[in-house]
Amino acid sequence: MKLKNRLGQGDFSFLAPIIAIAIGLLFGLGILLVSNPGQALDGFITILTGAFRDMRSLGRIMYFATPIILTGLSVGFAFKTGLFNIGAPGQFILGAFGAVLVGIKLPQLGGVHWLVALLAALVLGAFWALLPGLLKAFANVHEVIASIMMNYIGMYLVNYLVQNNIYDRLRNQSLGVARSAVIPRWGLDKVFPRSNVNAGFFIALLAAIVIYIILNKTAFGFELKAVGYNRDASKYAGINEKRNIVLSMVIAGALSGLGGGLLYLAGTGKFIEVVDVLAAEGFTGIPVALLGMSNPIGIIFAGLFIGYITVGGDYMQLYDFVPEIIDIIIASIIYFSAFSLIVRNIIQRRLKLRGGKVQ
- Which is more confidently placed, 196 or 341? 196
For residues 189-213, give the mean pLDDT.
91
CB atoms within 10 A of CB 357: 8
- Which is more confidently placed, 268 or 148? 148
* Alpha-helix residue ranges (DSSP H) falling in 81-142: 88-105, 113-139
Domains of the chain: residue spans and CATH: 1-53+325-359 (no CATH), 55-314 (1.10.3470)
**pLDDT at residue number 44:** 85
Closest to 120 measured CA to CA, from 79, 161, 87, 156: 161
Mean predicted lDDT score pLDDT of the chain: 86
Q: pLDDT band for 300, please (50, 70, 90 cuts).
A: very high
Q: pLDDT band for 354, please (50, 70, 90 cuts).
A: low
Strand blocks (E) in 85-241? 167-168, 173-174
Instruction: Let me know: does 267 contact 182? Beta carbons within 8 Å.
Output: yes
For residues 19-37, give the mean pLDDT.
83
pLDDT tens readout for residues 56-114: 888 889 999 999 999 999 999 999 888 989 999 999 999 999 999 999 999 998 889 99
pLDDT tens readout for residues 144-185: 999 999 999 999 999 999 999 999 998 999 999 999 999 998
The helix/strand/coil state of 357 is: strand
Q: pLDDT band for 342, please (50, 70, 90 cuts).
A: low
